[in-house]
Structure 1
Amino acid sequence: MGGKNAKPQWRTGQVASGDGTNISFLSAGDGPGLVVIPGNNRRAHHYEAMTGHLSREFTVHVIDRRGRGASGPQGSDYSVEREVDDAIAVIEQTRSERVFGHSYGGLVALRLGLRHRVAALAVYEPAVSIRGSFDGSWVPTFTRLLNDGKPLAAMTTFMKHSRLVPIGNAPVIVFRGLAFMLLHGSDGAETRAMMHTTPAELQESIRSDSDGAHYSQLSSPTLLLGGSRSPSYLTEVLPQLADIIPNARHEIIDGLDHNAPDLNAPGVVAERITTFLADTVPAGE
């Protein structure tokens, strides 16, 4: 599944969430339903390549989360639980029994599993903080720069301190160059438009820090994926979660980084998801 793949034939859908916020999503395929919850600064269409692979077996529904596309804004009472409400609304409308979440979408997916049992749950490097594993000390600086109308400086701060780009402790000028390309590339306008959603999402990851014990109430079979080139604060929580969640296992995939699902290795991630779902959920369910 890691090779060339046809683009999915997208269909658009929408649903009202619990608080009335409109949530839009893109669907492709003709099979059992699989809901995909994107990460920070990502739109549904950024998972096109992965969907192309997954839609061979599933009907894939990729959410445009709050603050993106035709979906409504985060709202004044935003929290990760509002995102869970949104995902449950999509699950119920599409009658899906499988969920995949990436990064912040992975945190949403795990919190969803505590409220709504699904047949199978897979995540890739969820934005879970256990006992302070996520150092958010830089988040106020990032937020101030963004609010001051300095998106380049804000993105430079985000990239340097989140360490999501696997270039180690490079000079600031390197991160600034990468930030410039990101903000002025083909997706630059979308990225700049989505950046205002980032502070609230980062704060939710910080606010949700715990010892992880509550995840013991998650009853769905769970796959926890990560990449060997990703920062340790994202991958070291995976074996901890696997020990806490009753029916869970984790895997660190050699050579992959944080953007494997949406950008760098969508076929590899899709193959792991497909195999997990085939092993977990009987055919026809």
Structure 2
Amino acid sequence: MEKQTVSRDGTPIAYQRTGRGPVVILVSGAMSTGATTAPLAAELSGRFGVVVYDRRGRGASGDTPPYAVEREVEDLAALIEAEGGEASLYGVSSGGALALRAAASGLPVRRVAVYEVPYAMDDAAASERARYRRELDRALSEDRRGDAVELFLRHTGLGEEVIRGARQSPLWAGLENLAPSLAHDDAVLGDGRPPLSLLGRVSVPVLALAGDAGPEWLREAARTVARTVPDGSYRALERQTHMVEPGVLAPVLAEFLAG
């Protein structure tokens, strides 16, 4: 990350801006840093000034306890102020939940696009989310970072063989470094259900996206976002899963963000 701004509580937030034009801030999801969204930034930088950043507690950004979701909203406020005073937001997965919270809080946001925010769409999913939260809190409180990563991977649906293979990967140490931030993503999602009252306060246009090759409940979550915000639309991207391809996503985002 080449640049830095300071959030309201004094936490340094590392970021990079590429391209020229209206500012778009890319908000990453769990177990990721700004580098995760860099390929999408490259696709969009021909038309927009694209900001990628390390959310607090990740990469080159700082982390000032105690954590609160409001601090992450303040991080976005600092980025917006540093890069011209107004921006659109794109958030993927739990980063989408953060983008929606930021827009509902009244930040100077023009438009918001989100991809597959993993809201719990039934009682069973909400119960599973609550169980995951309890086990995650226990693992992190005991500094069992590897176990926390395993919990997350299992929660996302990966099989035990895949998880064992990931443990042997040279990337595993980096995942363990990010493990404490899993609690941040869990907090951003609240009780896991779509926050209907909060979504009703998002006054700017919202595009809720999902892939048509993934689970139906993620598409239903996206449709719920689109139905609940005052000015929402929904679109499914062909042959895409939760790991959406930047080259497929970018043209759709560009059309929406250009207004």
Measured against the shorter chain, the TM-score band is: 0.7 to 0.9
- CA distance in 2 between partners of 1:72 and 1:152 (Å): 21
**Shift, 1:97, TM fit:** 2.2
In 1, distance between residues paired with 2:188 and 2:103?
Answer: 17
Q: Name stretches of at least 5 consecutive residues in structure 1 with no aligned partner.
A: 1-10, 281-285
- Check whether the contact 1:131–1:210 (CA below 8 A) recurs between aligned residues: no
* Corresponding residue for residue 33 of structure 1: 23
| 1:146 CA drift (Å) | 4.6
Q: TM-score, length-normalised on structure 1? A: 0.80
1:86 paired with 2:75, answer yes
Deviation for aligned residue 1:147: 4.6
Deviation, 1:238, is 1.3
CA distance in 1, matches of 2:166, 2:138: 17
The match for 2:183 is 199
Instruction: Give how far 1:125 is off.
Output: 1.5
Q: Deviations over 1:90-121 (max 9, x none)?
A: 01110242111111211110011112242211
Whichever residue aligns with residue 149 of structure 2, its letter is M
What fraction of aligned residue pairs are identical, expressed as a percent? 28
* RMSD between aligned residues: 2.3
Q: What amino acid sits opposite 2:71 in the alignment? A: R
- 1:12 Cα offset (Å): 1.7
Deviation at 1:130, TM superposition (A): 6.0
Cα 1:75–1:114 change in 2 (3 A) is same
The answer to whether the Cα contact below 8 Å between 1:155 and 1:179 also exists between their aligned partners in 2 is no
Aligned pairs (5 A) from 1:70-85: 70-76=60-66, 78-85=67-74
Structure 1, 40-49 or 195-204: larger mean CA deviation: 195-204
Other-structure match for 1:52: 42
Three-state SS of the structure 2 residue aligned to 1:20 is: coil
1:12-57 Cα shifts (integer Å, max 9, x gaps): 2211111121111111112221111111111111222111101111
1:235 equivalent to 2:235? Answer no
Runs of 4+ in 1 over 6 A off after TM superposition: none
Distance 1:16 1:246, change over 3 A: same
* Counterpart in the other structure of 1:123: 114
Task: State the SS of the aligned residue for 1:25.
Answer: strand
Contact 2:115/2:222, CA 8 A, preserved across alignment: no
Amino acid at match of 1:13: K
* CA distance 1:147–1:228, shift in 2 (3 Å): farther
Selected match of 1:176 from 163, 174, 184: 163
